[in-house]
Amino acid sequence: MTNKKFKIVVAYGTRPEIIKLAPLIIELRKRRNVELVVVNSGQHKEMVDDLELFFGIRSHYRFEVMTPNQSLNTILSKIVNETSRLFSKIKPDLVFVQGDTTTVFAIATACFYSGIKTAHVEAGLRSGDIYNPYPEEFNRRSVSLISNYNFAPTKASANNLIKEKVPRSKIYITGNTVVDALNIVLAKQKQKPGSSGLTKRILITAHRRENHGKGIENICNAVKKILSTRNDIEFIWPVHPNPNVVGPVKKILRDSDRVTISAPLSYIELVAEMNKAYLIWTDSGGIQEEAPSLKKPVLILRTVTERPEVITSGFGILVGTDIKKIVSITNRMLDSKSVYKKMVSGKNPFGDGRAAKKIVDIILR
């Protein structure tokens, strides 16, 4: 047994990244032969600060890269430069990144040019369209090419990597760490799932660039259509602050009864709302993964998804922003207990909540 301590960096910058990397950080802390360094790129400031506090994480280094209205190119170049300077000083043996954000792509690129090994958590997700979602599909494909370890959440994700000629020796199927994180949150909340009373609640989250404009308007009009024909439904929509989202939502739905339009929720609050919801409408990738763990059906407000497992397992239906499709499928699920029960009776395709331990065991083995 070697006495060498491995210097491992875990790097994140956005809310989805810290959610899915928190279980990994917690697991790495338990290992005696690991010197852990946590790096925060600063891409999402306030949202990440709250989660660091919740999970008991303190970043050793934090970049100050965000300024108003800057381009993706500017963010990318800043993070690459900050990463290169830091890593040349601390010299890590391995760097963990997660997902497909600009932070992930920038840090992995800096590692590649510096000859530092990288491990990609949640590798192999693919929509098949490099512009949808943009720029995430490009980011995740690129990171897979340069990572020394690709931790695929499912067999389908691993197969995507194999098709792209990623060496099999660099691919490991571990489940998704989002299940680990969700279990931590649920254990702290101790909240019973389900809506109270006779009114069923539908949670909506929608913010992606491809839905700006007509897409968001269609979602709002689908809400109005359902409310005009039913009195057993209420909606809650924590609205993204982007003017392309909050503008049309408030304009179309501000006078609608049984619609709660709120500011964005913290992750902890969002989990609580998902747990209370009868049904979820979303264009979020993370919520597609969390819904099966909570046994909630989800209508996916996108034309393609890089998480097809949520569909094949029965928990999700791809509806895009087609008003008729959203309304008809929602009504069918509200009216038929058997349809609803069938959707939520499948096995969680994203793992058993032990992904972080599997990943750390692989690295240290």
Q: Is 191 contained in some domain? A: no
Q: Which of 35, 50, 209, 217 is catalytic?
A: 209
Q: Are strands 279-282 and 259-262 parallel, antiparallel or unpaired?
A: unpaired
Question: Distance from first CA to last CA of the chain, Å, rounded?
Answer: 11
- What digits encode the pLDDT tens for the residues 239-259? 988 889 999 999 999 889 999
Q: Which amino acid is at 278?
A: Y
171 and 107 both lie in a single domain:
yes
**C-alpha to C-alpha distance for 72 and 84, rounded to whole angstroms:** 18
Q: Which of 17, 27, 52, 136 is catalytic?
A: 136
171 and 239 both lie in a single domain:
no
Question: Helix, strand or coil for residue 23?
Answer: helix
**C-alpha to C-alpha distance for 347 and 295, rounded to whole angstroms:** 9
pTM of the model: 0.89
- Note down the domain range covering 112: 6-176+351-364
Q: Is 59 contained in some domain? A: yes
Residue with structure tokens 């928990």? 315
Instruction: Calculate the average pLDDT of the chain.
Output: 94
Q: Which of 17, 100, 137, 309 is catalytic?
A: 100
Q: Residue 47: its pLDDT value, please?
A: 79
- What digits encode the pLDDT tens for the residues 94-143? 999 999 999 999 999 999 999 999 999 999 999 999 988 889 999 999 99
Annotated active-site residue 136? The verdict is yes
Q: Which of 27, 52, 122, 290 is catalytic?
A: 122
**C-alpha to C-alpha distance for 87 and 91, rounded to whole angstroms:** 5
Q: Is 325 contained in some domain? A: yes
Annotated active-site residue 100? The verdict is yes
Q: Residue 1: its pLDDT value, please?
A: 46
Annotated active-site residue 207? The verdict is yes
Q: Which of 31, 230, 240, 354 is catalytic?
A: 240
The packing angle between helices 46-55 and 267-276, to 10°, is 80
- What digits encode the pLDDT tens for the residues 47-100? 799 999 999 999 999 998 888 888 999 999 999 999 999 999 999 999 999 999
335 and 221 both lie in a single domain:
yes
92 and 206 both lie in a single domain:
no
* Closest listed residue to residue 301, CA positions, set 321, 322, 331, 287: 321
Q: Residue 182: its pLDDT value, please?
A: 95
160 and 20 both lie in a single domain:
yes
Question: Which residues fall within 8 angstroms of residue 115, CB to CB, at 6 or more apart?
Answer: none
What is the H or E stretch that residue 261 is in?
Answer: strand 259-262
Annotated active-site residue 209? The verdict is yes
* Closest listed residue to residue 154, CA positions, set 134, 139, 176: 176
Q: Which of 44, 140, 207, 307 is catalytic?
A: 207
Q: Are strands 34-40 and 6-12 parallel, antiparallel or unpaired?
A: parallel
Residue 124: CATH number of its domain = 3.40.50.2000
258 and 334 both lie in a single domain:
yes
169 and 38 both lie in a single domain:
yes
What Rg, from alpha-carbon coordinates, does the chain have? 21
